[in-house]
Chains A and B, each alone.
Chain A
């Protein structure tokens, strides 16, 4: 027994709109960019001695502290707009946590009194006056009494 078309000739297969619809492209999740491995960029730049600091190149308008690996010095190197470098030298000391900062080296400006220019000029005038007086005394002729006294001594 042969199985023929069981559907009538007028049958139209059911329309499946989903199949006919163009596939909506789903937004593909953008692959998350794996961060490039961060280089261990500590802020400390070590140089060997002053020569190392001098030869360390800087871009214009840049300031960078350069740590000397041979001594307790930091070279604060700066460049101006034209790239001209200048170096400031900072010497530091290392102390233990329980050690106190020596205070005797700290200068207390309030305890120091300064002389003004006027003070010095006044002092200079007084000195000049004193000098004049001494000069007049030394050039004054000696008195007769004094002359007698000196002759008796002889």
Chain B
């Protein structure tokens, strides 16, 4: 479990370092263009919040 979280964290950090531009702007553009729906965005936010909570509790 701990290893999984650490791997996930490493992958996230790698993604974060490679990411260029304004994330919020890019997501807003995806919403505006219809590439993702509001429901998909809501679900993603909820998942992110759950992960955030999990990291808070475990680390």
**Inter-subunit contact B43/A56 (CB<8 Å):** no
A55 within 8 Å of B (CB atoms): yes
Q: Which B residues are in CB contact (< 8 Å) with A59? A: 31-32, 34, 37-38, 41
Determine the chain A residues whose CB is within 8 A of the CB of B32 once the complex forms: 59-60, 83
Which chain A residues border B24 with CB–CB below 8 Å?
55, 57
Residue of A nearest to B37 (CB): A59
Which residue of the partner chain A has the closest CB to B49?
A: A46
Q: Counting CB contacts under 8 A, is A71 at the interface?
A: no
Mostly, the A contact residues are loop
- Residues of B within 8 A of A (CB-CB), count: 15
**Nearest Cβ distance between residue B38 and chain A, in whole angstroms?**
5
In the docked arrangement, what's the CA distance between A56 and B46, Å?
12
Q: Which residues of B contact A87 (CB under 8 A)?
A: none
| Seed contacts A41-B43, A45-B45, A83-B28; 10 additional CB < 8 Å A-B pairs | A39-B46, A41-B46, A55-B24, A57-B28, A57-B31, A57-B41, A58-B38, A59-B37, A62-B38, A83-B32
* A–B complex contacts, Cβ < 8 Å, 13 sampled: A41-B39, A41-B46, A45-B42, A45-B46, A46-B49, A56-B45, A57-B28, A58-B31, A58-B38, A59-B32, A60-B32, A62-B38, A83-B31
